[in-house]
Structure 1
């Protein structure tokens, strides 16, 4: 089983906000109901389910996915 996550743009180290966003889960029978998750929570999920955590990097530009101006 694999859990795919990416780091959120608005979260910074020491802000006490969840730093990761779950993008998807492959294999297994795991449902995650949280939109944002802390690293310690991710590690606990991976440990108990035997999943591997895959960290997805961002391109840094953020231009993809924006709507065209109307």
Structure 2
């Protein structure tokens, strides 16, 4: 089983906010109800289920999905 996550732009280290967003899960029977998750919670989930954590890269711009001004 694999858990795919990406780091959030607005949650920086030391801000006391969850830093990761779960993008998807492959295989297994795991349901995650939280939109954002902390690294310690993510590690515990992976350890208990035997899953691998896959960190997805970010583009750094955050421009995808936004409408262009006409």
Instruction: Give the TM-score band, short-chain normalised.
Output: over 0.9
In 2, distance between residues paired with 1:32 and 1:68? 33
The count of residues paired between Structure 1 and Structure 2 equals 70
Q: When the two structures are superposed, what TM-score results if normalisation uses the length of structure 1?
A: 0.94
Q: When the two structures are superposed, what TM-score results if normalisation uses the length of structure 2?
A: 0.94
Instruction: Kindly report which structure 2 residues correspond to 1:40-51, keeping only aligned pairs within 5 A, or say none.
Output: 40-51=40-51
Runs of 4+ that moved beyond 4 A: none
Give the match for residue 16 of structure 2.
16
Q: Please list every run of 5 or more consecutive structure 1 residues that lacks an aligned counterpart in the other structure.
A: none
Q: Please list every run of 5 or more consecutive structure 2 residues that lacks an aligned counterpart in the other structure.
A: none
